[in-house]
Every structure is written in structure tokens, then in C-alpha cells.
Amino acid sequence: MEAPSEFPSVNLSDLAASSSAAPVDAVFALDSSGKTRLRFVQTGSVSVGPLVDFDLETTQVFRVGPVDLLCISEESEGNATDERSFSRAFKVGFKTKDESKGFGIAFEKWKNRSSKDEALLENGSTVPSKSKFDSKIEATSAKMYFHYYGQLLHQQNMLQDFVRTGTYFAAVIENRSDFEGRVVVDVGAGSGILSLFAAQAGAKHVYAVEASEMAEYAQKLISGNPSLGQRITVIKGKVEEVELPEKADILISEPMGTLLVNERMLESYIIARDRFLTPSGKMFPTLGRIHMAPFSDEYLYVEVANKALFWHQQNFFGVDLTPLHGSAFQGYFSQPVVDAFDPRLLVSPPTFHNLDFTRMKEEDLYELDIPLNFIASVGTRVHGLACWFDVLFNGSTVQRWLTTSPGSPTTHWYQLRCVLQQPLYVMAGQQITGRLHLVAHSAQSYTIYLTLSTKTWGPGADQGGVVQTSTGKLELKEPYYRLSQPQAYASDPQPQQQQPQVVQPQDIHQLQDEIDPSLSLEQL
């Protein structure tokens, strides 16, 4: 029997009661029937009966702050003819972010262990339990996701991104030695185009794994290219569930979403690596980098802020809409902006965060915590953080990058910008620090927590201290698709001085009173 996982001295508070948090030990373990349980017991008294006992099959965990989690369990009571369901919710607090993250990883491990067990029916037969994908992704989100990618018009949109498609083709054909005579697995094959590229490069056999209805179109396309298709097998199903007759020498996939990680397909790519790839096998792409830099864009800031002006009407058919203005203002700033922008809007040189697909664990993608540190190149107002990504195809012959950076040919990913409600003022040479914190959720995306701060600059700067701090909470799944091409900006590094505004900077302080302060990470 597997040894329990213990987390001593956590703070537990029942949200249905008014009592304060109490220190307890959290224990993941199996009960006598083999079910996985999460139990909270008195500190140092694991052998004593639990104060709270959760069945992991009906329990979910949500992050509500840097060190706080929320455990919600669906329970039932009554007899078979009068059964009533209800929820129990407890807040679990930890001393450090590492402890909180470790608890989340343990929860996923024990919950997935439970889901691997088969369910025994009354007649003794069994039915397969949920796959790892199904256990962490909402069914409605997965249904919409696979429906979207099951349509040819969306596949066409990606195929017509010639930067994307051309780079993949070049990376494969230029590294023919990596594919020739090798077994290839195409993860999330879509239309099957990457499988056909691999076959063109001389692959011995390609297994094209696709979970959506697009698998049928892929089969039709591959059958229509018989000289290549005779070495390609289309398998409809999720990589978490399908079985292959042999191991792969190389994985190829296009698992990148907005900000690289949106849609959480990178996790399926890592799972495919662990399930199918030989120890010496290659991955195309091999690694990814998320790039970040503060930006100044008065046009964009005013555009986002002014969207909420509709709710400033005091006589909308006799109705005063202003009570909702603060919530609307907050909501528009919770949307990351997806568009192409002029790289001259960047306030400092970018930094980047590496994701090595050949080494990282799937659980590493559940939460990304990226420290930020920049030096402003100009004196201006900082309106938020700009992000983009690139991926490397580390072939034996040629190393080729696919980039989505500003100033490069635009891709269907564009770039992404997180706009802060409260801009920061910086001087040239001033330090900008902060944190980009991405937390995965079951709707196949991430919640973004952004903090940017400026520190003292000039004479006396050695005394340290934060001058300004601005925070934001954004939902990566609900972006504002602006999708504009880069505009012609003046060469003046401070263009905001010549631009008209409807919302003035001084108005922001007034608006803060209308905004829920829970947006601040420090208050979560």
C-alpha cells in the first residue's frame, strides 16, 4: 500500500462556520476500501480520527491566493429514495508558496491515482475510469475545444499562417536525418499536415493522434496522398488514452496557444513524451520561451478604459447605470489584449522564461511563477506587460526558431499584453520589478496575476524601497482580440504627451474606489 503524503501544520477554516482558522495536519492516504482520501487531523495526531474527511473523487481544489487553497467537496446524505447533495468548502492556508504548490501537486497525484482504478459494477464487470485529461479538464470546455478544432475553417486559419506552417516544414525537411527511417508520433495531428511533412522527410511510419472529428478529415487528406499516406496511421483519441504498437523516435506537435500555454495542450505533449518517446528520442518543438517586457501605449490604455464609459450613464431609459461602472471598468482590464504592436512601445529590453519540453514535468505547467526585473530605457508611463513566445526545433542538422515577437512577421498567435488599471511612472534607468504568476484551471487556460513595481532612483537610491506598485488579475481564456497590425507611432519615446485622452490619469484614483480591492495579490 502506498505511503500517505503528509503536510503538517496547515491552517484550516470552514467557510460555512464563523470560527477562525485552526492548525491541523493534512494527509493524503487510502482508506480500507482502497479509496483515496484527503484527511485533516489534529496536529501530531495522525492515528486519531480525522476532523474533516474528503473523498478525492468528489473533491476539487482551487487557488485563491499565493499560499491559500480552497477545497470543495460534493457530498450526499439521505437514503436512496431521498438523497440530497450538498457542498463543503474549507480554506487551507500554508506558510510558503512552495508548500502550497507541493500540496496542489500531491492532490493531482492522489486524485489521478484514484481515477486510474477501474470502477467495479454490481455484476462484477468493470468500466474504465476517467483519463488524466478528463479528470483535470471540464467536460464542457473539452467539448467546445474539440468541436472548434474539428472544423476545417479553423484548420485553414492555421495552415494559412505561413510563418507557422513554413517554419514547421523547414524544420522537418532541413533535419531529414532525424526523421528518415524513424517512427514518428504526431500529437494532436489536426489536418495531418505535420504527419505528411514527416513522411516527406522519409519517416518509416507516422502515428497521427487526433481526438477531434478532424481525424476523419485527416484520414481523407492522407488517403488522397497515397505515396505518403501508406506510411501514416491516423488514430482517433486522446494521447492520454490511446495505445500505440511501438515507441516513437521523434514526437512532432503544434501544442502552442496564446502566451504559449493557453489551452493546456503542452501538458498533453509532455504526457505523450512520457508514454511514447524512446529515451534518446527527439521532440519537435524542443523548448519554448515566454518573453516579457513592460510597455507604454497611451492609445491602448485609453481605449480599454473608455469601454466602460457606457456604464457612466445616469439616465439610460430612466435607469442610472453608474452602480455597475466600477465592475465594468475592472472587467475590461481583466482581459489580456491580443494584437500586433510596434516594438518601439517597449520600455526596456525583454526577459524570458524557458520551458524545456524534453525535461519538464507535466505538473510544472500547473503553475508558472516568473520573477520580473527590468531597467527602463526611457522616462514614460508604463501601462502593463507585453508578452510573446518562441519555440526551438533542435534538429541534428539545423536549429530553427519559430517566433511570435513584435517586429517579426505576424502569426495567428499575434502578441499578448496585460494592461494595468493603474499605470506606473518611470525615469530612464529606473528599476522595474514584479512577478508574473500563471495558475492553470479546468477550463483549459490560466488565471494571470501580474505585479509591477518601481523602486527609488537617483540620489539616495541605495536606501531602497518601493515607490509605486500596480497589480492585475486577468483571465487568459477571455482575451480582447484587438488583432490590429502595428500602428505608425512617432519616434518620440514619450508619444502619450501628444495623444488625446477621454479618461485622464488623475481620474484613475477616483475609479479605484469603485473597484474590488480583492484584485490585489497582496489581499488575496
Q: Tell how far CA 202 is from the center of its chain.
A: 35
Where on the phi/psi map is residue 171: left (φ > 0), alpha (ψ -120 to 50), or beta? alpha
CB within 8 Å of 396: residues ≥ 6 apart: 175, 177, 178, 282
CA distance 223 to 229: 6
Catalytic annotation, pick one of 25, 57, 249, 263: 263
CA distance 56 to 110: 8
Catalytic annotation, pick one of 161, 174, 369, 475: 161
CA distance 386 to 411: 16
Q: Coil, helix or strand for 452? A: strand
263 catalytic, yes or no? yes
Catalytic annotation, pick one of 57, 210, 249, 254: 254
CA distance 392 to 387: 17
339 catalytic, yes or no? no
Q: Tell how far CA 302 is from the center of its chain.
A: 27
Residue 122 sits at the vertex; the CA angle it makes with 116 and 123, to the nearest 5 degrees, is 105
118 catalytic, yes or no? no
- Cell numbers describing residue 209: 493522434
β-sheet bridge partners, residue 77: 84
Compute the CA torsion angle 362, 168, 411, 359 (nearest 10 deg): 20
CA distance 258 to 414: 8
122 catalytic, yes or no? no
Residue 63: Cβ within 10 Å count: 21
For residue 404, CA distances in Å to 68, 167, 260, 410, 415 come to 35, 12, 10, 7, 7
CA distance 285 to 301: 35
CA distance 405 to 274: 30
Looking at the annotation, which residues are catalytic? 161, 254, 263, 412
